[in-house]
Structure 1
Amino acid sequence: MHEQTCGTDVVAVLLAGGRSQRMLGRDKAFVPLAGRPLLEHCLARLTPQVATIVISANGDPASYPTDYPLLPDGNDDHAGPLAGILKALQWAQQTQASTHVLSVAVDTPFFPVTLAKRLCDIAETESGRPVLAMSGGRLHPTFGLWPVALLDSLEAYLAAGDRKMMLWAEQQGALSVTFEPFVGHGRSVDPFFNINTAEDLALAEGLLAEIGKEEGNV
């Protein structure tokens, strides 16, 4: 059994449905980093933080690990990350009776090991509002803690044709938690640095070689 470091009853969703045109249209989840797919790096980082993880993805189900429920969007209207969060909220409500869903993006392999705990600490006092990660003065809405109670609101928002993640989060009175950079590869690095290009991948390879996986100071 995994040690759950988040006090709130949480299901984590790994958002792995995107493709990167700058990475020749490859499925980001399976882009190799130090010999392992990004998906594996993120799962290893997320597993100690929560008790339950689901994967939001639209690829071949046989490509994904069977240990985690796979939640396809079920549509082709390019609803983006919010579609994955919606499916996770529905799954959490129907299957787990959980109070919150934690979202994490698969192209961001150095996200903080304290992510769940710190977002949950805020949610315990502001349970009805989303809590988003922030670094360098910038919000990262794909790294958020979403109350399951907002399920109906999100369904209505998407049904109206809206797709902007930050707009919906702001409408729900989103709060934020600031995470500091870490030092790696001779530079200050945003923990939410995401991999979009071959150059980003090369930088991530260097960072991983220097700091090692699962560094507690990230």
Structure 2
Amino acid sequence: MRIFGVILAGGQGRRMGGADKALIRLGGRPLLFHVIERLEPQVERLAISANGDPGRFVRTGLPVLADTAPQGPLSGLLAALDWAAALGGTHVVTAAVDTPFLPDDLVPRLLLAAETSPGGVAVAESDGRLHPTSGLWPVTHADDLRAALAAGEARVQGFANRLGAAPAHFADERAFLNLNTPEDLLCAEAMMRGGPADGETP
């Protein structure tokens, strides 16, 4: 079993004023670097899924995978499955670039959950919510995904459901906090300082 990883960095950050989410700074560092730090030790190889100028990520030293037909994060997943398969990878673990607090046991727990899935697929779950962009996907599903995209599938959870994805439970719901707005960013800054998150009592 060879587990590769991909960071889905194709979001346009509309609620962040159109900024490139991957490069938005949290604690003085781009969000992308927080996710690399969390995910890279858990996988054999890591890549970034993003369109546009790959040069903006040159400092990471990671390959940048562009979509052949951009249709959202599922297109990024397909590019990652094809990339991993060509290099002998058996599975891809996905993570969104705006989830800087990913757990350091994400991959082993996804693998454990995937044992109960007919398709060998697992997605993270916390506090009763599924987080399908944090998932484990066998590369053998690349053609299934190609067909799903051709049929108009646009939702990661929709594709996961087709494959009978199993939930991998994580107790800390903040591990999958995704930063969509400036308010979310302020909340994350408070968490990094050890202060209360938005809505918590000091």
Question: Is contact 2:117-2:164 (8 Å) kept?
Answer: no
Match of 2:68, SS state, is: coil
Q: 2 CA distance for matches of 1:67 and 1:190?
A: 28
Q: CA deviation at 1:123?
A: 3.3
Q: Structure 2 regions of 5+ residues with no counterpart? A: 196-202
Q: Which residue of 2 aligns with 1:198?
A: 182
Amino acid at match of 1:80: G
Q: Do the aligned residues in 2 keep the contact of 1:136 with 1:190 (CA within 8 Å)?
A: no
Which residue of structure 2 aligns with residue 150 of structure 1? Answer: 141
CA contact (8 A) 1:11 1:101 kept: yes
**1:13 aligns to what?**
6
2:161 and 2:22 mapped to 1: Cα distance? 28
Q: Is this contact kept in 1: 2:116–2:166, CA < 8 A?
A: no
Cα deviation, residue 74, structure 1: 2.8
> 1:97 Cα shift?
1.4
Letter matched to residue 89 of structure 2: S
Please say if 1:26 is aligned against 2:19.
yes
Q: In the TM superposition, what is the alpha-carbon distance from 1:49 to its structure 2 partner?
A: 1.1
RMSD: 1.6
Residue correspondence of structure 1 range 140-179 to structure 2 within 5 A: 140-179=131-170
2:199 equivalent in structure 1: none
Q: Report the equivalent of 1:48.
A: 41
CA distance in 2, matches of 1:97, 1:138: 33
TM-score (norm 1): 0.84
SS at match of 2:4: strand
Alignment partners' CA distance in 2, 1:91 and 1:174: 22
The 1-side partners of 2:85 and 2:149 are apart by 18
**Which residue does 1:5 correspond to in 2?**
none
Percent sequence identity over aligned pairs: 48
Distance 2:118 2:31 in 1: 31
Unaligned 5+ runs, structure 1: 1-7, 182-188, 212-218
Distance in 2 (alpha carbons) for counterparts of 1:192 and 1:135:
8
CA distance in 2, matches of 1:90, 1:118: 24
Please identify which structure carries the higher helix content. Answer: 2
Structure 2 residue identity aligned to 1:153:
D
Distance 1:80 1:196 in 2: 16
